[in-house]
Structure formats: structure tokens, C-alpha cells
Structure 1
Amino acid sequence: EDKTIFPPKPETESVTHNRIDRIKGGTLKINEADQLFHSTEMYFANENEGEIKHGAGLFFLAKGNIEKLKTALRWLSHVGIG
């Protein structure tokens, strides 16, 4: 049996969003049209165990004073990674 372990693979997916009118509680309308838009989101796929799964975890090791590293990772989690 092949026990090859593959690293997480970056994948992208188009996701539909809408703009919300926070005052009226519905979708925002400009020129009588709803405001749908698409964005491309990136994730890491795990193709081990014979199938591709979304949400593969990433990790790394760090040694020493990691306060700046923690700050950078916190920022990345706010902008969509983590």
C-alpha cells in the first residue's frame, strides 16, 4: 500500500456575496438592482487519506521570542488566513 503523504495544496473557489443595507435590513439596491458580487477565496486542501478535504491545517515551529510572530499571525487571521 502506498503511504505517500502529500503537503496541503492551495485551492481557490469563487464565492458569491451580497451588499447589505444595514438601515433597511435587506440587500442594498443601486439602480433597482441587488448588489451581488463574487470574490475568490483561497484555502488549503488535504488530499491525504484518499480524498480531497477542505480546511487542511498548517503548522510551523518557532524558537525564541515569538511576540512579533504572534502579532503577524493574529493579523493574518483577521484578513482571512487562520
Structure 2
Amino acid sequence: MALNTTIPEILESLQKRRAAIDNAIIALQLLADTEAPRRGRKPKVLTELAAVSSAPKPRRRLSEETRRKMSEAARKRAERRKAEKAEAGD
């Protein structure tokens, strides 16, 4: 890209590249999904693609205070539900 290109031109160029990359990813995923079962080890590209797509998300860490608040709210809900059942049973 030349120094005299404008921001909209740069954005357009990047969007075209992103579209090309998205198409390549879709093609590889289709190839991995539709390939007939075969013996032996999968090609490295397909195993890396599967590893990237199935990587576990990192767990959210809750603070002690947040956990305590959630526990208290659950306890209140359970008490309310128990009281409603007791009223309905009377």
C-alpha cells in the first residue's frame, strides 16, 4: 500500500483479504467434514484445523465476593420457591 492511500481504501483492501481468508477457512472445513473415512493418520493441516476449532474457551474466574452473592441469590430463590409451594399446598 502506498503512503497516499486513504483510510477507506485501506479498509476495502483489508476486507477483501478477510473475505479471501474466510473463504479458504470454509473450504478447508468442508474438506475436513466431507472427507471419506480413511485409514491412518490425518494430514497435519486437518488436525491443526480441528485443534484450533475445538480449543476449549478459558474459564471465567469469579471473585469470592461474586461467588458469595450468587450463592445468596440462589438461596433466596430456593426459599421463595419453597414458600410458594407451601402456600399452594395449604
TM-score range, shorter chain: under 0.3
TM-score of the aligned structures, taking structure 1 as reference length:
0.24
Higher helix residue share: 2
TM-score of the aligned structures, taking structure 2 as reference length:
0.23
Rg (Cα) greater in structure? 2
- Asked which structure has the greater RCO (Cα within 8 Å, sep 6+), the reply is 1
